[in-house]
Amino acid sequence: MSWIKYLHVLALVLWFGSAAADIILELVLRKTSSREGQLTLIRLHAIIDKTLETPGFLVTLITGFFLLMKYPNPSGPLYVKIGCGLAAAAANLFCVKKVLDRDRWAKSIAKDAWPLQLERGKDLTRDVYLSMLGVPFAFVALYIAVVYF
Ligand code: HEM
């Protein structure tokens, strides 16, 4: 395996691993009723996105484009893999934006307000769930990569 492909797969592990942790955090957040608990989980999700998930998906994309240079005429499955990879990355970018918006907003709410009981908090959290629509695309890209390459 070339070092660039190694880096692609390593970044992928970082991306998928942190995304899996985020899904668990969101499930726990849904069940958390205390104000402090909600604020802590909202903060933690934002920290994971900034420090692990964003570097993970950016390095996956950058190394993916370098790997593409080897293929002047990409095959059909490679096109589908790239399309699915880009769709997953776009959904991820949307998710990170909403998570950071929610974190910034949660810091500004009144001392006696529960983030997930306010309309803005519910809307931003719904958008975070919506971004999970990117997950099937990520798995199709992974399936094609494992089966065809
Ligand atoms: C969710 C997103 C992605 C996943 C799950 C994924 C997964 C993988 C995996 C597992 C490999 C190693 C395959 C092997 O040799 O066994 C690989 C290779 C590769 N990936 Fe990705 N990738 C993703 C995104 C991208 C993107 C966005 C691009 C292009 C911009 C890309 C381009 C490539 C190329 C060209 C190879 C090398 C194929 C070869 O020469 O063997 N990947 N990918």
**What is the percent of the chain with per-residue pLDDT over 70, rounded to a whole number?**
100
Residues 6+ apart with CB under 8 A from 14: 52, 53, 55, 56, 59
In terms of residue numbers, what domain contains 30?
3-148
Distance between CA 144 and CA 78 in Å, rounded?
8
pLDDT band at residue 111 under the 50/70/90 scheme: confident
Q: What total of structural domains would you count in the chain?
A: 1
User: What value does the mean pLDDT of the chain take?
Assistant: 96
What local confidence, expressed as pLDDT, does residue 74 receive?
83
Go through the chain and tell me how many residues it has.
149
Mutate to test the pocket of ligand 1, among 18, 60, 143, 146 (most ligand atoms within 8 A of CB): 60
What residue's CA is closest to ligand 1, atom 43? 145
